[in-house]
Amino acid sequence: MKTKSFILLLFSILTITSFAQFDTRKEKEYKWQIGVNINTVEPITEAGFDYIAGRQTRLFNPTDLSHQKDKSSSFGINISYDIKENCAIRLSAKLINHKIDETYNFKEMVPYSSADYLLDDAHFRQFVINIMPGILLGGRYKKLNFYCGFQLEYKQYSSISFQIRYTSYLTSNNTIQSVKTLDFKQPGGFSIGVGPFVGFSINIFKSIFIGAEFSSAYSYYKTGGERTLVTTFSSGATDNLSVQNSYEASKFSNIITSMNLSINF
């Protein structure tokens, strides 16, 4: 078990046992809560996808990520219903958009020759849908709410799209001499597991709350399959290559941090 996940589990247990110190609500004003959140993005390697492998054909050290622009994002929604005082059921959903771009301009770096240079563009894309039903327990101290719980976690990974485009320019007049495109495709997959979450929220105005949450899960991953590479040359000719690249494992995921905005009604 990873140390960080053990700490999260321990925090959950301590939170549950400390609820006696908090005030319980004498009068229930709300039953439902709906919220939106922004989340940290787990690395694509978490589910066994090898980003470096898609860069092996590039004309520089494939482990050099200095020109990488990671524009990945994750947004979600939570809907919970109080089944009794300080206990609720919850359904959460998240959409993770992996979007990584890189550009190497060899005119600014190491030119191929005095006659031409190369512009190297790479674009990585993948979507992940995350569905999480769960149950939470909460305690309240004035305007501050603490909660924790456990949830099932299912992730559906889309196929990977990774395109690399080499454009050769003539230095004298900056005209395109040739273009070569490499298209990587790899099947997605899924993961399923269960894990704890802990969080807090602050009542900022009437029934509006802001807060943060931390979660992890022990999951079974099954992803990948036949990875294909299609190279297209300026002449229109193509070259095809395929290899098997499957991944299967059971492990704790990274701890995900969420920033939440919610309303009770």
Per residue in 9-58, pLDDT tens?
A: 555 555 555 444 444 444 446 789 999 999 999 988 899 887 766 666 55
Residues paired with 264 in a beta bridge: 33
The answer, yes or no, to whether residue 229 has pLDDT greater than 80, is yes
Instruction: Please give the structure tokens belonging to residue 203.
Output: 């009542």
Residue 22 in any domain: the answer is: yes
pLDDT at 132: 98
Residue 103 in any domain: the answer is: yes
- The whole-model pTM stands at 0.84
Q: Residue 16 belongs to what H/E stretch?
A: helix 3-17
Instruction: Kindly tell me the burial class for residue 250, based on how many C-beta atoms sit within 10 Å of its own C-beta (0-12, 13-18, 19 or more).
Output: exposed
Residues paired with 214 in a beta bridge: 198, 257
Domain count, the chain: 1
pLDDT at 62: 60
Q: Residue 7 belongs to what H/E stretch?
A: helix 3-17
Q: Is the model more confident about 69 or about 3? A: 69
pLDDT at 20: 45
pLDDT at 40: 95
Residue 10 in any domain: the answer is: yes
The 10s digit of each residue's pLDDT in 100-127 is 998 877 665 544 455 565 677 888 899 9
Confidence tier at 7 by pLDDT (50, 70, 90): low
Between vectors from CA 145 to CA 142 and to CA 147, what angle results, nearest 5°?
150
The mean pLDDT of 203-209, rounded to a whole number, is 90
Residue 210 in any domain: the answer is: yes
The 10s digit of each residue's pLDDT in 57-74 is 555 666 667 778 899 999
Residue 265 in any domain: the answer is: no
Q: Residue 12 belongs to what H/E stretch?
A: helix 3-17
**154: containing domain:** 3-260
Q: Residue 17 belongs to what H/E stretch?
A: helix 3-17
The answer, yes or no, to whether residue 207 has pLDDT greater than 80, is yes
> Rounded distance, CA 143 to CA 156, Å?
37
Q: Provide the sign of the torsion angle of the four alpha carbons 123, 129, 134, 138, taken in this order.
A: positive
Residue 62 in any domain: the answer is: yes
CATH number, domain of 152, equals 2.40.160
Confidence tier at 164 by pLDDT (50, 70, 90): confident
User: What integer best gives the mean pLDDT of the chain?
Assistant: 83
User: Which three-class secondary structure state does DSSP give residue 71?
Assistant: coil
Residue 202 in any domain: the answer is: yes
Q: 23: which DSSP letter?
A: B
> Rounded distance, CA 27 to CA 128, Å?
40
The answer, yes or no, to whether residue 254 has pLDDT greater than 50, is yes
Confidence tier at 129 by pLDDT (50, 70, 90): very high
The mean pLDDT of 83-97, rounded to a whole number, is 93
Cβ contacts of 229 within 8 Å, gap of 6 or more: 57, 182, 183, 184, 240, 241, 242
The mean pLDDT of 76-101, rounded to a whole number, is 94
Residue 31 in any domain: the answer is: yes
